[in-house]
Chain A
Amino acid sequence: MTEWPRFGSPEALILLILVPASIYVGMKIRSLGPVRKWTAITLRTIILLCIIFAIAGAEWVKESDRLAVFFLLDRSNSVPEDAQLASEEAVRRMSSEYMTSKDDAGVIAFGDESSIELSVDSTIELDEVRSFVGGEQTDLAAAIRLAMAAFPQGHMKRIVLFTDGNETRGTALDEIKLASASDVAIDVVPLEIGGRSEVRIREVNVPAQANADEPFSLRVVVSADQTSEATLRVYQTLAEGKRLLQAAPVTLQAGENTFELPQELAQSGFYEYEAHIESDADTVMANNEGRAFTVVQGEPTVLLVEAQSDYGRYLRPALEREGLNVQAANIGSMPTSLAQFQNYDCVVLSNISSTDLSSDQLLSLEALVRDLGIGLVMVGGPDSFGAGGYFDTPVEKALPVSMDLKQRKIMPRGALALILHTVEIADGNAWSRDIGLAALNVLSSQDLMGLLAYEHPSGDSWIHELRPVGNKHTLRMALNTGSIGDMPDVAPTLKMAYEALEACDAAVKRIVMISDGDPSAPSPSLLRKLNDAKISVSTVCIQPHSPNDQDMLSWVADETGGNFYFVTNPNNLPQIFTKEAAVVKKALFFEKPFVPKRNHDSEIVRGTLSAELPTLFGYVVTTPKENATIPLISPEGDPILAHWRYGLGKSVAYTSDATNRWGADWVEWDGFDRFWAQSVRWAVRDMSPSPFRVDTRVEGSTGYVRIDAVNDDGEFVNFLRPEGVVTGPGPNFARQNLDIAQTGPGIYEGTFPVSDRGVYMMTMTYERPDGTQGIIPSGLAMNYSKEYNYNATNHALLENWAAESGGRILSPDANPFEHNLTAASTVTPIWMYLAAVAACLFPIEIFIRRVMIDLYVAWAWLAVRLRRMPGLRNLVQVPGLRPKPATGSYGSVPSRTMVYESSGTTLETGGATQQQTTTPTAQATEQEVAATPKPAGSSDYTQQLLAAKERALSRRKKSSDSKSDDE
């Protein structure tokens, strides 16, 4: 380690010429003694130097010869396991053979994500890579960014990449250039992945659109590394499962092999095909399947999802009597992916709870309205809208009403106590907070909420006591800052919740407990008490230690009338708690007879509503959204029927139900069929039959779409101004715009990036020059991760990376710890410290010049006081005042100190009398005055001062004498 100073603005050092000038001026001062003068000159020079160096931007540079090496290990699926193990072994060997005391090293594993396996340290102890980073992608750029952020300061830095160079996300070259600019060397150890015999499905292709009863070809492209025998299977995916279309043995030649299967579809809808290839000459199975979609346009189809109790009783017959093509489903048979929803033009949910839907289904229901133009109708009931836990879900966004009831002032209040026993699950504390916040969002300010957890060191305690939610700030703070420990036993917290809820005046009381199921069970007597107090306990079992651990939690819920949830997807947790919190808000139900009022005329009800509307017996309270149309309202002004446009589609909300619970008079009403048929028809996807041919395909990381617009007369259709949106695969159904441009007569093309494996749904809209509009739904599948496309190391790219960074291509036994890099330096600005030193010294320098302290007098003063102390009297001698000629200071007026200095009288020493000891000042003063010689060369002014002093002393003496006479 070497250190030296340097200057950011060295030109300012020209000011150093002031230093000799300053010294010269200081030497010219004759009024100071030599010691004071040179002290002042020295200080002034230091101050000047500090100021000049500060102006010049002084910095302190430390140069280190320590080397930090980060090994980046590729864990993506394109790297076979043996190559991954070889890279780990190479790291162990490199570090054991070449790492010295001047080296530090760390390990980062990367794939889908990047994770620091071992932070940079003086030793490497890599048994096996434990980080789980996912292998569906190779995101080397993110790994380099992570390494750059995690390097220690003041080291030479080197990154050693172990990779096959098959990058599928991000651009590593950009990061490599940035790293290189920061003097970070990047060496590459190529991982050899070739040599495997491989068979993969390259493409499954069908026309994006087909006409009913019109033949088309399904084309499957299979690539093989060598001639081999295989079995090709083609399936059609239907709502009820897969149907095998063909299974045939095929002979694969080395290269690409194309197989065609003629197809013809009679029914309208969205059809999905799957192809599978099996061969003995294959090593990776993940790339052996592919999918494709086609749409057959025809009569609109409505998907009606009803609760089991009402299944097929009221709504379905009504819609069918009105001629709608209805496909009925219950929760179990409801589509689970966005692609499957493409079979329908409108989805009707009748009294379906959000907790019965997966997070994928909830996201799909929003996306199908927003991006695919499919209609959504939500029909009410006790399990719908806010009471069904739809608050703050994607579905709520698509609906014309909100479940947020903040504006309502008169609501019976509920009380909710959350018990969190979560800490042993991964991210358990973060989940607990999210869950608490989700529940908090549902509650109004009058509701009560409390939060119980195990806190260290106080143990079982209220993180937030049960009290009105208020403005939610306090509770939010408690959730965000509370420390949640591992609760050994739930019984004490359950008892605390019981006592608090039992004492409060809420109309509905609920406890929700989240746990992994391993705490001891509460006693039956406590559960009886909860039952007696009408407090129900809902339990949520998450990540149990074993599948049967749900027994205790299930038992507690059963015994107290609560719900039991076994959560496999943690993303559903906030949704569950939202529903539980909503249950507390029983006021979401309004159950008494009323006649809905007309509020607004709209196309959805035009001609369907008679003068006298039948009575309804209940509805779920909601809040209308700003742009929604509300044709029917309750006497309280709450929406009964609402509709609006959302994205490309339309949605309808009917907050009462379509059964004999709240709508007993409506189901008997002769306008019931027409009312519902018209509402559903309004929401059905507007899909004008499009004569245009659409082709989609994936190439590398890009999805391509091409529209060939030719009309029935065979003429090109130009200037369509198409637009499109692409909805990506889960978990979030990321939405991106699809830019489509006309590239030729009647030809429109667009591209979009694809990175994740799964289905990409496309919806393209267009407007003809005559103003008519149309919509073209389509989709394409990224059948498997791009990682499985690669069967060779990308040496060219790896060499390019090394060249760009000035690094090397290393063999697995090379030395990555060579100290051949530019020495790393750490620069610390020090100008502020120099300025501070100057500021501190400046008053000292002035003091030295302006004030003189006579050490002789100071010692005399101290000695007199020391002699008063027992035992020191004979040890300490009081020095006599030395005769010294008066010395001028600046100006001609001597200072007070100078007057004492000029005294030529000495005090008695040694055997000083008591009188002298007790009144030394008076005696000394008299002696001084008597013996004061006139200073040579003093001015008249000085003479006058001395005369005045003599007069004053004389007066004092006379006064003293007269007092003595009086006594």
Chain B
Amino acid sequence: MVLTGCAIDNGSRFSAVHMWGETGIRKGHFKKPRAIAAWRGEVYVIDTTGRMQVFSPEGAFLRSWVLPKTDNGTPTGITPVEDGRILIPDTHNSRLLEYDPSGELLDMWGGYGTGEDEFIYLTDVVLDDEGRYIFSEYGMDAERVHIFSKSREFEREWGTLGEAPGEFSRAMSIVRPSDGRLYVCDTANHRIQCFESDGQLSHIISDAGVAPGFLKFPYDMDVAPDGSLVLCEYGNNRVSRFTTSGKHIGCFGRPGRGPGEFNAPRGICASADGFVYVADTDNDRIQRISLEAIA
């Protein structure tokens, strides 16, 4: 077994893991959960059956609804926003879905293409203080950060395919912490790129590797209550935590099926009460750990 250097066999950390779910299509069961968000005391999960399931923080099933189209593929992100909407970048249908928390579809917009007002694979979205929609996106000629106004008009974009600073290879997640900068999971380049709000590259966090502090296919990212960044690594089968300046705080997990072990995790979110929820995708379950465990 390849150990990533993130010790989890500490007894206190072990007991911090809470998990739920198993393979299946029943309520509370999953088939490859890949998008997750924690918001207002509830946990939202989308799996590859195209179901949005809502749970209590302890994993009790609350309600569910089915997304409108799933034959092309399913969303990779969920972004609840303050005004009560739940934004779902419908990745493989090149559009944004807007729901209310009860599951009523409020709106959907977008379309396939590489044009200014089109998407190839939109992977994540975040709103800025003025209500702009800021998307991470990938695809042929669409490796970019894509920004629309509050009224959904194209404003600007940046990025291209590549390995150089400022270039992207499969941007899978984007967050906007309180410093107002944009942090993008540059997944296939195994790094986080930080941009000023005007698109100017500020700094790059981490690089490819398996040792603690390095990354391998970081698929999703969220901002913890203390302002730190928590990431799930598809390639290293663990979660990592960095400060926004790039200092590595710690990591947690290793490959496997036991508590605190992950199998190709693709989604992560942090709740306001100090927990981190991980969509443990290929284990068909959700794991909850305390933020302090990632140290």
Which residue, B93, B139, B143, B236, has most C-beta atoms of chain A within 10 A?
B139
Residues in A neighbouring B264, C-beta threshold 8 A: 456, 485-486
* A519 CA to B234 CA, complexed, in Å: 15
What are the interface flags for A514-529 relative to B under an 8 Å C-beta threshold, 1 for contact and 0 otherwise? 0000111101000000
Contact of B92 with A546 in the complex, beta carbons under 8 Å: yes
Residues in A neighbouring B121, C-beta threshold 8 A: 518, 545
Choose, from A137-145, A267-275, A496-504, A548-556, the stretch at the interface.
A548-556
Residues in B neighbouring A520, C-beta threshold 8 A: 138, 143, 161, 169-170, 188
Q: Does A130 contact B (CB under 8 A)?
A: yes
* A488 CA to B208 CA, complexed, in Å: 14
Residues in B neighbouring A459, C-beta threshold 8 A: 216-217, 235
Interface residues of B (CB under 8 A from A): 1-2, 25-27, 49, 72-73, 92-94, 112, 121, 138-140, 143, 161-163, 169-170, 187-188, 216-217, 219, 234-237, 255, 263-264, 282
When A and B form their complex, which 10 residue pairs have the shortest distance between CB atoms, in order from nearest?
A489-B188, A457-B255, A545-B92, A545-B73, A520-B170, A552-B140, A545-B72, A551-B140, A520-B169, A459-B235
Residues in A neighbouring B237, C-beta threshold 8 A: 456-457
Residues in A neighbouring B112, C-beta threshold 8 A: 546, 548
On whether A458 and B2 interact (CB within 8 A), knowing A489-B170, A520-B138, the answer reads: yes
Residue in A130, A489, A523, A548 whose CB lies within 8 Å of B162: A523
For chain A, what secondary structure do more than half of its interface residues adopt (helix, strand, loop), or is it mixed?
loop
Q: Does A212 contact B (CB under 8 A)?
A: no
Interface residues of A (CB under 8 A from B): 118, 121, 123, 125, 130, 424, 456-459, 485-486, 488-489, 491, 518-521, 523, 545-546, 548, 551-552, 555
Q: For the complex formed, measure the closest distance between the CB of A121 and the CB atoms of chain B, giving whole angstroms.
A: 8
For chain B, what secondary structure do more than half of its interface residues adopt (helix, strand, loop), or is it mixed?
loop
Contact of A488 with B92 in the complex, beta carbons under 8 Å: no
Residues in A neighbouring B219, C-beta threshold 8 A: 488
26 contacts across the A-B interface (CB closer than 8 A): A118-B26, A123-B26, A130-B25, A424-B73, A456-B255, A457-B2, A457-B237, A458-B2, A459-B216, A459-B235, A485-B264, A488-B170, A488-B219, A488-B234, A489-B217, A491-B169, A491-B188, A518-B73, A518-B121, A521-B140, A523-B161, A545-B72, A545-B73, A546-B72, A546-B93, A551-B140
Residues in A neighbouring B73, C-beta threshold 8 A: 424, 518, 545
Residues in B neighbouring A491, C-beta threshold 8 A: 169, 188
On whether A521 and B26 interact (CB within 8 A), knowing A488-B187, A489-B188, the answer reads: no
Q: For the complex formed, measure the closest distance between the CB of A275 and the CB atoms of chain B, giving whole angstroms.
A: 35
Contact of B140 with A555 in the complex, beta carbons under 8 Å: yes
Residues in B neighbouring A518, C-beta threshold 8 A: 73, 92, 121, 139
Residue in B25, B161, B187, B282 whose CB lies within 8 Å of A456: B282
Q: For the complex formed, measure the closest distance between the CB of B251 and the CB atoms of chain A, giving whole angstroms.
A: 14
Q: For the complex formed, measure the closest distance between the CB of A741 and the CB atoms of chain B, giving whole angstroms.
A: 51
Residue in B27, B93, B170, B216 whose CB lies within 8 Å of A519: B170
* A123 CA to B92 CA, complexed, in Å: 34
Contact of A521 with B161 in the complex, beta carbons under 8 Å: yes
Q: For the complex formed, measure the closest distance between the CB of B92 and the CB atoms of chain A, giving whole angstroms.
A: 4
Q: For the complex formed, measure the closest distance between the CB of B231 and the CB atoms of chain A, giving whole angstroms.
A: 14
Residue of A nearest to B49 (CB): A130
* A424 CA to B71 CA, complexed, in Å: 12
Contacts beyond the supplied A456-B264, A457-B235, A491-B188: 12 A-B pairs with Cβ under 8 Å: A123-B26, A130-B49, A458-B2, A459-B216, A485-B264, A520-B138, A520-B161, A520-B169, A523-B162, A523-B163, A545-B72, A546-B112
* A456 CA to B283 CA, complexed, in Å: 12
* A892 CA to B170 CA, complexed, in Å: 95
On whether A456 and B163 interact (CB within 8 A), knowing A489-B170, A546-B112, A548-B112, the answer reads: no
Q: For the complex formed, measure the closest distance between the CB of B38 and the CB atoms of chain A, giving whole angstroms.
A: 24
Residue in B26, B93, B140, B163 whose CB lies within 8 Å of A125: B26
Residues in A neighbouring B49, C-beta threshold 8 A: 130
* A520 CA to B162 CA, complexed, in Å: 10
* A966 CA to B126 CA, complexed, in Å: 106
Which residue, A130, A521, A551, has most C-beta atoms of chain B within 10 A?
A521
On whether A456 and B170 interact (CB within 8 A), knowing A488-B188, A546-B92, A552-B140, the answer reads: no
Residues in B neighbouring A123, C-beta threshold 8 A: 26
* A520 CA to B187 CA, complexed, in Å: 10
Residues in A neighbouring B255, C-beta threshold 8 A: 456-457
Residues in B neighbouring A551, C-beta threshold 8 A: 140
Residues in A neighbouring B1, C-beta threshold 8 A: 457
